[in-house]
Amino acid sequence: MTQKVIGVAGFKNAGKTTLVEKLVVDLTQRGFRISTVKHAHHSFDIDHEGRDSFRHRKAGATEVAVVSSGRWALIHELRNETEPYLEDILMKLAPCDLVIVEGYKRDTHDKIEVRNLSLDHPPLAGDDPTIVAIAATGAIAGSPVPVFDRDDVTALSSFIVSHMELAKG
């Protein structure tokens, strides 16, 4: 089964992470199973120095699984491999109703542009055919796609459900 994917894209400080968080809350409350993928433009650690998993990784393990009764995580150390494509990561996720992707602005999946009008960032909609809606801090005259108030998560979630043809599984 191919995962349904909607992206949340925009420039720094536009409000992408906050919007993703609110969308996850709203869509899960509607009964949908949601997963997320966050692209980082920098190195990051989910385990920390001194932890057993950190020590395993530093010793040279390519993958370290950390498992408890509440959650599990798999850490894959790239060790000079190239960064995986989004499609490669999507194949590793369990089936769900929708994957919300933050980042991966240049990929070909449909996206919602998040725009903070108080910042001087160039628009993505119009130049990028994958932008299907805009979540903005105010009105945008002449927009080529539907515009939603960035804080009107209910309306934006309803748009996503319709646009992505989501059905509760």
Beta bridge partner(s), residue 99: 5, 35
Residue 90 to residue 158: CA distance in whole angstroms: 23
- Does residue 121 belong to any structural domain of this protein? yes
Q: What is the pLDDT, as a whole number, of residue 8?
A: 97
- Does residue 75 belong to any structural domain of this protein? no
CATH of the domain at 104: 3.40.50.300
How confident is the prediction along the chain (169 residues), in pLDDT tens digits per residue?
A: 579 999 999 999 999 999 999 999 999 999 999 999 999 876 676 777 888 888 898 898 998 989 989 988 888 888 888 999 999 999 999 999 999 999 898 899 999 999 999 999 999 999 999 999 999 999 999 999 999 999 999 999 999 999 999 997 6
Token reading at 84: 């995986």
- Does residue 169 belong to any structural domain of this protein? no
Number of domains in the chain: 1
Residue 144 to residue 3: CA distance in whole angstroms: 27
Helix (H), strand (E) counts: the chain: 4, 8
